Amino acid sequence: MEEAVISKNFIEQIIEKDLAEGVYDHVMTRFPPEPNGYLHIGHAKSILLNYGLAKQYGGKFNLRFDDTNPTKEKTEFVQSIKADVEWLGADYEDRLFYASNYFEAMHEAAIKLIKKGKAYVCDLSAEEIREYRGTLTEPGKDSPYRDRTVEENLKLFEEMTAGKYEDGSKVLRAKIDMASPNINMRDPVIYRVARMTHHNTGDKWCVYPMYDFAHPIEDAIEGITHSICTLEFEDHRPLYDWVVKELEYKMPPKQIEFAKLYLTNVVTGKRYIKKLVEEGIVDGWDDPRLVSIAALRRRGFTPESIQKFVELCGVSKANSSVDYAMLEYCIREDLKLKRPRAMAVLDPIKLVIDNYPEGQVEYLDSDNNLENPELGTRKIPFSRELYIERDDFMEEPPKKYFRLFPGNEVRLMNAYFVKCVDYEKDENGNVTVVHCTYDPETKSGTGFEGRKVKGTIHWVSAAEAVKAEVRLYENIVDEEKGVYNEDGSLNLNPNSLTVLKECFVEPSLLNAKAYDSFQFVRQGFFCVDCKDSTDDNLVFNRIVSLKSSFKLNA
């Protein structure tokens, strides 16, 4: 029997070629986030790709914070990123690193380049450096400070480090080629003077390395073999290679670029999310309407669902967008066999069974998951007074409406047939109570084979019901109009959050804890909110509705 041929993505092909040719004798990858915000679904792809490749080839995976820009970095972001990476299952073991751990090594690397005649101190302003750089069609021109002597550059760089010069007054630049067709190679800035308090090193430094200089050094120090990043860094690769070559690392890492993960109609830009947070439109970076990893976790997504989603998206060199519905498909697929069902009434009206004995409570058997018998059964209390959904009763129903209306009979799920005999209204004409009679011969599970009914509705026993708050989420942007307005602002959906405070759930959910999730019968999958839910006020977030138009391989 022939073995199935497993197709390798282009990164796997590169790694296997490197191992076969002895370029490397092991695989070492890393995820290098900047701690300047919360991670989103696109970062999840990078985390799982890097971790997955290390695991696949028996290698190691590092988590490293690229904290070279203290103005935007916070310890809060560091902690949130660690939590996200660990939740996704990417095990970095004891290999947690910070770029700032290597500031001494980077400083020494800069001195080495100066001594080799490959770096110089430049006094041009940022605006002048831009002017001298040239354009995509015109070469740049040399800085008037490009030919300073090694001795002068060493002295000036030492004075920069000692804090002698004002912020922005001097920079250290790599001496490469001002006529290079790649603008990134036109004597890029590799160090700047900046008096900033760093979350990790405090006020020890007043010069900081630039990302494009720091990153290859970090990779080389850690022994990273394959430095995997997104496509926007493709034009930076020649500089990456130049740095590791000039610094003469024995086993230089290899940068490989892949396409980012783009989701349709979502907000991932940090400055937009920051604005939503600051203006109180959302209640934090983990608001369940966002697609930060923290928000998805709070909403009730599972690591397995995100792993499945990333797997389905694949790895390629071509940018493309993925429909958000595919992410919803993945969470439905993950939860449908794992999570128990429960009955919950989100917009309640009372149903009274006039001929059921007052004060009597029956405990009825119900399957926890019809598709997975291994989840067992539970007992549900049934009594004379119940809550049902408001839209499960109509005074004047349209055709093909098979739920409750005057004179119609339906099955109460796991219980009995009931027939509507009357109803009550308040002074505004709203139905408040539906009166029914029940047929005791029609109890579920007794093999009743008499008349048939076309409708089945769910319910919760009023006396034992647990009051809960339920939050229904829609896209935070108006999908029909697009994410952004013409002026660049977000096109917000005013109905992105509906809060229902008078809901009732069955008593089996009374002790549900943060992140516990359930399938509410006919409603969708719901998760206990980790932030606002308390023992006295259960709060459920809708993860996803039960059905979608999305079809895999459609």
pLDDT at 449: 80
Task: Give bridge partners of residue 473 from the DSSP assignment.
Answer: 497
Does the pLDDT value for residue 430 go beyond 80?
A: yes
CATH no. of 103-208:
3.90.800.10
Read off the pLDDT of residues 377-422 as tens digits, 9 standing for 90 and up: 999 999 999 999 999 999 999 999 999 999 999 999 999 999 999 9
Give the pLDDT score at 490. Answer: 82
Class of domain 341-465: mainly beta
- Residue 409 φ then ψ, to 5°: -120, 140
Domain 10-99+210-262 CATH (choose: 3.40.50.620, 3.40.640.10, 3.40.50.150, 2.60.40.3880): 3.40.50.620
Tokens encoding 170: 């001097």
Percent of the chain scoring above 70 in pLDDT: 97
Pick the closest to residue 85 from 34, 31, 42 (CA basis).
31
Q: What is the pLDDT of residue 549?
A: 52
Distance CA 361, CA 342 (A): 19
What are the DSSP calls for 60-83, one per residue? Answer: EEEEEE----GGG--HHHHHHHHH
CA distance 246 to 296: 43
Q: How far is CA 390 from CA 83, 350, 384, 405, 432, in A?
A: 41, 9, 18, 12, 9
Q: How many residues does the chain have?
A: 554
The CATH code for residues 270-335 is: 1.10.1160.10
pTM exceeds cut of 0.85: yes
Q: Which pair of structure tokens corresponds to residue 76? A: 């809060």
Domain 10-99+210-262 matches domain 103-208 at the CATH topology level = no
pLDDT of residue 265: 83
Share of the chain above pLDDT 90, in %: 83
Q: E strands along 78-167, which residues?
A: 96-98, 119-122
The pLDDT score that the predictor gives to residue 149 is 98
Residue 113 has pLDDT above 80, yes or no: yes
CA distance readout (Å), 284 to 294, 295, 373: 10, 9, 39
Mean pLDDT of 449-461: 92
Collect all residues with Cβ–Cβ distance below 8 Å to 32 and sequence separation of at least 6: 64, 65, 66, 99, 215, 218
**Model confidence over 78-104: pLDDT tens digits?**
999 999 999 999 999 999 999 999 999
Residue scoring higher pLDDT (155 or 448): 155
Dist. CA 201–CA 265, nearest whole Å: 39
Q: Tell me what pLDDT residue 508 has.
A: 95
Read off φ and ψ for residue 191, nearest 5 degrees. -145, 145
Give the model's pLDDT for residue 548.
60
Tokens 């799982």 locate to 48
Pinpoint the alpha helices (H) of 234-353.
237-246, 270-278, 293-299, 303-313, 324-335
pLDDT digit string (tens) for 315-364?
999 888 898 999 999 999 999 999 999 999 999 999 999 999 999 999 99
Q: Which of 549, 69, 13 is nearest to 254 (CA)?
A: 13
Residue with tokens 């005999």: 421
Q: Let me know: does 322 contact 344? Beta carbons within 8 Å.
A: no
Residue extents of the structural domains in the chain: 10-99+210-262, 103-208, 270-335, 341-465
- Specify the pairing of strand 60-65 against strand 28-31: parallel
Residue 430 CB: number of other CB atoms within 10 A? 10
Which tens digit of pLDDT belongs to each residue from 457-503? Answer: 999 999 999 999 999 999 998 877 777 777 777 888 999 999 999 99
CA distances from 225 to 8, 51, 143, 219, 369 (A): 19, 13, 35, 8, 46
Neighbours of 80 (CB within 10 A): 21
Place 448 in a pLDDT band, splitting at 50, 70 and 90.
confident
- Read off the pLDDT of residues 268-310 as tens digits, 9 standing for 90 and up: 888 888 889 988 999 999 999 999 999 999 999 999 999 999 9
Element (H, E) at 541: strand 538-544
What is the C-alpha to C-alpha distance for residues 354 and 403, in angstroms, rounded to an integer? 19
Does the structure show a pLDDT above 60 at 5? Answer: no
